[in-house]
C-alpha cells in the first residue's frame, strides 16, 4: 500500500485491539441510545455506508466474515494521502459485528485522532458529517475516562506507522481547510514522553 512495507500487520493490530478490548464510550452499550444507527442498514442509501480499514488492518480479518461486505479499491482513485498506493479495503456491515472484531475506526468512534498545527496529536470529537444522528456526538455526552485514555494509547501506537500518521495528518489538514471547529478531548503525549 505504499513505498514501504507497513509495520502495521496482524501482531501490531492485535496489540492495538487488546488496548481497546474493554474500552467503551459509555458504561453500557451506546447503541441502545440510537438503535445502533452506525451499524444499521435500513435504506438503500445506508447500504452504501462503510469504513476504510487502516493500512494492514485487513490482516485481522479472513475476508469471509458473514457480517462484512468487502470492496478492494485503489488508493490513487480516492481521496487519500499521496503516500498511499495500491489496494485499500472498504467494508460495509451487513449486521452488527462481533464486538471483539470491530474495525479500528468503529472502536474509535465518536472520537477521532487529530494533529494540531504544531504537530501535537490529540483526540477530538468526530467532525465528519454523518448520515445519522449519534447522540454522543450531537450532545457531547461525557465519555468514560478509561475509554479516552485507551484510545489515546492506541492512536499513539497507530501513528508510529507512517501511512497511518500520513492519513491522520491529511484528515487534520482537511478539517482546517473546511473550517471545521475541533473540540479537543485529549492531548496525547509523544511516545517516550
79-124 confidence digits (pLDDT tens): 899 899 889 999 988 877 777 888 998 888 899 999 999 999 999 9
**Percent of residues, the chain, with pLDDT higher than 90:** 50
19 is in which domain, residue-wise?
A: 10-187
Q: How many structural domains compose the chain?
A: 1
158 exposure class (CB count in 10 Å sphere: 0-12, 13-18, 19+)? buried
Domain assignment present for residue 192? The answer is: no
Residue 80 is given by DSSP the state: -
Mean pLDDT computed over every residue of the chain: 84
Domain assignment present for residue 93? The answer is: yes
Tell if the pTM clears 0.75, that is, is over it: yes
3-34 confidence digits (pLDDT tens): 445 567 899 999 999 999 888 887 766 666 66
The three cell numbers locating residue 108: 474509535
Cα 172 from Cα 30, distance rounded (Å): 26
Domain assignment present for residue 22? The answer is: yes
Domain assignment present for residue 2? The answer is: no
Domain assignment present for residue 182? The answer is: yes
DSSP of 157-181, one letter per residue? HHTTSHHHHHHHHHHHHHHHHHT--
Domain assignment present for residue 177? The answer is: yes
Domain assignment present for residue 70? The answer is: yes
Domain assignment present for residue 63? The answer is: yes
Amino acid at each position: 500500500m505504499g513505498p514501504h512495507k507497513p509495520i502495521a500487520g496482524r501482531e501490531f493490530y492485535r496489540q492495538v485491539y487488546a488496548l481497546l478490548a474493554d474500552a467503551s464510550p459509555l458504561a453500557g452499550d451506546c447503541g441502545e441510545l440510537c438503535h445502533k444507527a452506525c451499524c444499521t442498514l435500513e435504506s438503500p442509501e445506508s447500504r452504501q455506508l462503510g469504513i476504510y480499514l487502516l493500512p494492514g488492518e485487513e490482516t485481522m480479518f479472513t475476508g469471509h466474515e458473514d457480517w462484512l461486505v468487502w470492496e478492494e479499491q485503489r488508493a490513487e482513485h480516492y481521496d487519500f494521502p499521496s503516500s498511499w498506493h495500491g489496494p485499500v479495503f472498504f467494508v460495509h456491515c451487513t449486521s452488527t459485528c462481533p464486538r471483539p472484531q470491530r474495525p479500528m475506526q468503529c472502536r474509535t468512534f465518536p472520537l477521532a485522532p487529530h494533529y494540531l498545527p504544531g504537530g501535537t496529536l490529540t483526540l477530538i470529537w468526530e467532525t465528519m458529517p454523518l448520515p445519522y444522528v449519534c447522540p454522543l456526538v450531537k450532545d457531547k455526552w461525557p465519555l468514560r475516562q478509561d475509554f479516552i485514555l485507551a484510545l489515546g494509547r492506541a492512536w499513539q501506537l497507530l501513528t508510529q506507522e507512517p501511512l497511518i500518521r500520513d492519513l491522520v495528518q491529511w484528515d487534520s489538514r482537511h478539517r482546517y481547510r473546511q473550517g471545521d471547529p475541533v473540540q479537543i478531548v485529549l492531548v496525547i503525549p509523544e511516545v517516550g514522553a
